[in-house]
Structure 1
Amino acid sequence: MHQTISDSDLTMALVEYADWGNAVIQIEYHDDEGKIVEHWDIVQEIPAAEDFAHGNSMF
């Protein structure tokens, strides 16, 4: 897990699944008791470092 952001009833986490070669943003909506009501994922394949113009990796 690289970063988490929480605001009121929403939480976002940026997660690297290096074994699978994916970066994932997980977004969760919580109810008043803190239970997860909704969950969304955004998945992107991690490109090779040489594919970036700046020569750095995604993380």
Structure 2
Amino acid sequence: MTQHTPPAPRICPACDGFASAAVTLGGRDPRGHLRIITVDCPACHGVGTVSARRVREGAGA
């Protein structure tokens, strides 16, 4: 009996699946830790994948 293969996830074209990034603000806080913020992809909101509808909309652009 054959196994069903799940469809591949639709990777966000804006971030290529790397949806979040840590960015240092430079310097350190008073406790000695690096000041870091997390930035999410605005197209997929930090998920890394998009729905089929969004992929079709972006294909024509």
Report the TM-score, using the length of structure 2 for normalisation.
Answer: 0.31
Q: Which has the higher strand share?
A: 1
The structure having more radius of gyration, on CA atoms, is 2
Q: Which has the higher helix share?
A: 2
Higher RCO (Cα < 8 Å, 6 or more apart) = 2
